[in-house]
Amino acid sequence: MSKPELVYGLHAVRAALKYDPGHIVEVWLEQGRHDAKMQQLAQALTRLSAAVHRVPRRELDLLTGGAAHQGVAVRFEGATPRDEDDLYALLDELTEPPFLLVLDQVQDPHNLGACLRSADAAGVHALIAPRDNAVGLTPAVHKVASGAARTVPFFQVTNLARVLRALKDRGIWLAGAAGEAEQEVYQADLTGPLAIVMGAEDTGLRRLTREECDFLVRIPMRGHVESLNVSVATGVILFEALRQRTQTAST
């Protein structure tokens, strides 16, 4: 299983319950809370197979480090991440050129969720991320992804550079996104077997990841800001690739 996560607060727990209830393994509910919102949520949680504890508010305060828990917390264990062997099995089964997305140490669950949503819309076959220093499929990711966390195969690998080399050995071209790239994304050939490689929120591509890329592309910026949020940039590049791939397929 993935690393357990403590999820608390009405909205966050509702998201876990809606998108991935099977991985809620333990529940804490504040004693004495009888308002309608809490009662409805408590009824849904007690129908799970998870252990349920009704505790004083001070115990929830201690459990969550004094955070705004709103009287409820759950322990969430995400599904076991698929690894590189599963990735290669998926690639072996494809009957069309692979179209992949690689996120190098993206840590914000909202960014991962938004990237999954864009990947689903653009027809990406798989999203690949490292296990370390990167967010996994948390309840927040499921919520932002709006179902795409279940439709886009998600792989977490222990050695991203090794996997990138293996992709190249399979004839997949690696296009890395970097603000200092000479080539604009609209000038690049994004057809055929391809993996779009995006960097972390603040630091961009790591050196080893960048060195594995076959070429780099940038999004032209005409205003005053220097860069886009990683999930926005991912959407721009994925849909330019989709445009090119669709155009090629129709000719």
What's domain 84-249's superfamily in CATH? Answer: SPOUT methyltransferase, trefoil knot domain (3.40.1280.10)
| Pairing mode, strands 24-30 and 51-55 | parallel
CATH architecture of 5-76: 2-Layer Sandwich (3.30)
5-76 and 84-249 in the same fold: no
**For residues 116 and 149, is the Cβ–Cβ distance under 8 A?**
yes
Q: Where are the domains of the chain?
A: 5-76, 84-249
Look at the block and give the residue holding tokens 């319950």.
17
pTM: 0.83
Residue 106 backbone dihedrals phi, psi, to 5 degrees: -75, 125
How many angstroms separate the most distant Cα atoms in the chain? 67
- Tens of pLDDT, residue by residue, the chain (251 residues): 566 788 899 988 988 898 889 889 999 999 988 899 899 999 999 999 999 999 999 999 999 999 999 999 999 887 777 999 999 999 999 999 999 999 999 999 999 999 999 999 999 999 999 999 999 888 889 889 988 988 999 999 999 999 999 999 999 999 999 988 999 999 999 999 999 999 998 889 999 999 999 999 999 988 888 788 999 999 999 999 999 999 987 76
